[in-house]
Amino acid sequence: MNTNPVIYNPVPEDTSGVQLSEDVLALCEEMAKNTHEVWARTRMEQGWTYGPARDDEKKEHPCLVPYEELPEEEKEYDRNTAMETLKLIIKLGYDIKK
């Protein structure tokens, strides 16, 4: 058993210079919603249900609600994940076209 603490320093790609078009920003919101839907489905498949507070023992979570009903801070978490993914795709030289 390793008793040494792991030192982890996350270094995501710097996407601060990437600007997203209005179309891609709209895509970002759809991706954020889908990210939540995938997370919620996975949790439910694992036996989790809605609860007023997170309880790992009972497998209850307050975010097991439709995306539209999430608190804004939870939506921002999903939006950030989607936005950073889209920015990285563009930074790596890919085009996003409808």
| Tens-level pLDDT at each residue, the chain (98 residues) | 556 678 999 999 999 999 999 999 999 999 999 999 999 999 999 999 999 999 999 999 999 999 999 999 999 999 999 999 999 999 999 999 88
Q: Is 72 helix (H, G, I), strand (E, B) or coil?
A: helix
Global pTM reads 0.84
Contact 64, 40 (CB under 8 A): yes
Find where tokens 């920003």 sit: 25
